[in-house]
Amino acid sequence: MKLNERGLLIVLSGPSGVGKGTVRKALFDMEGHDLVYSISMTTRPPRGDEVDGEDYYFVSKEEFERRIREDGFLEWAEFVGNYYGTPKDKVEAQLKQGKEVVLEIEVQGALQVREKTNDGVFVFIAPPSKEALYRRLLRRGTESNETIQKRMDKAEREFPIAHKYDYIVVNDEVTNAADRVLAIIRAEHAKTERSIHKYKELLGVDFSE
Ligand code: 5GP
């Protein structure tokens, strides 16, 4: 791992139910040693076997609002009646240590990060079709029909925002999608602006021409 080199901020985003979490987990299985996941904070109650401090930091509304006032979030959003946010200090410290930090967040939050930082890589995870998204939300079986409908309506409003991202990855099949995200991360590392100084050191080349 690089010393004194800022890590890459990778923002995986897209509509709820699209499978961002599953793609992220598959990505970590492929390349976990170089990536760290930024655990979000939420006021939503835990679902099923979710664990505090692993899946989310589950906090009260009061606690979340206190952190908003203290400017403790890189971004935060209200999503279908609950707050979700990325604790700021941790992400910054990890990037400074040269770590690759992965955020898995909804669209409004991703747009906030886009406005604040100039070094993030923004990946929109899209469903193969609207029907597939609806089926996934239904299959999850953890929400009421009303909440599912709210999530679908929100997704309809989010699809057009995909053009503001650097990349779009269709989650047709989880390992394929994770493979594509990994390819994006590798390509980002090879970008001239990120790799030219190493090239300069290795070959002693002068780029003044
Ligand atoms: P869920 O309730 O299904 O876990 O999450 C609802 C939505 O909030 C998902 O799209 C999820 O990716 C998003 N989300 C999770 N953590 C954060 C966060 O820290 N910030 C934002 N803006 N969205 C988040």
Residue ranges lining ligand 1, Cβ < 6 Å? 16, 20, 40, 44, 75, 77, 79, 84-86, 104-106, 109
Q: What is the value of pTM for the model shown? A: 0.92
- Dihedral, 16, 124, 161, 78 alpha carbons, nearest 10: 40
* pLDDT tens across the length of the chain (209 residues): 444 588 999 999 999 999 999 999 999 999 877 899 999 999 999 988 999 999 999 999 999 999 999 999 999 999 989 999 999 999 999 999 999 999 999 999 999 999 998 889 999 999 999 999 999 999 877 778 888 999 999 999 999 999 999 999 999 999 999 999 999 999 998 898 888 888 888 888 877 76
Structural domains of the chain ordered from first start: 9-38+99-203 (3.40.50.300)
Indicate which residue's Cα is closest to atom 17 of ligand 1.
105
Nearest-CA residue for ligand 1 atom 6 is 16
Predicted confidence at residue 1, as pLDDT, reads 45
In the reported structure, the alpha carbon of residue 154 is separated from the centroid of ligand 1 by a whole-number distance in angstroms of 13
CA of 13, closest atom in ligand 1: 12
pLDDT of residue 3: 47
**What's the 7 CA to ligand 1 centre distance in angstroms?**
23
d(CA 149, CA 101): 32
- 3: CA distance to ligand 1 center in Å? 32
DSSP lists the bridge partners of residue 79 as 82
- Gap from CA of 203 to ligand 1 centroid (Å): 44
Give the 3-state secondary structure of residue 120: strand
**Nearest alpha carbon to residue 4 among 72, 85, 138, 99:** 99
Strand 9-13 with 35-37, pairing: unpaired
Q: Please tell me the distance from the alpha carbon of residue 28 to that of residue 36, in angstroms, as a whole number.
A: 8
Q: Are 86 and 73 in contact (CB under 8 A)?
A: yes
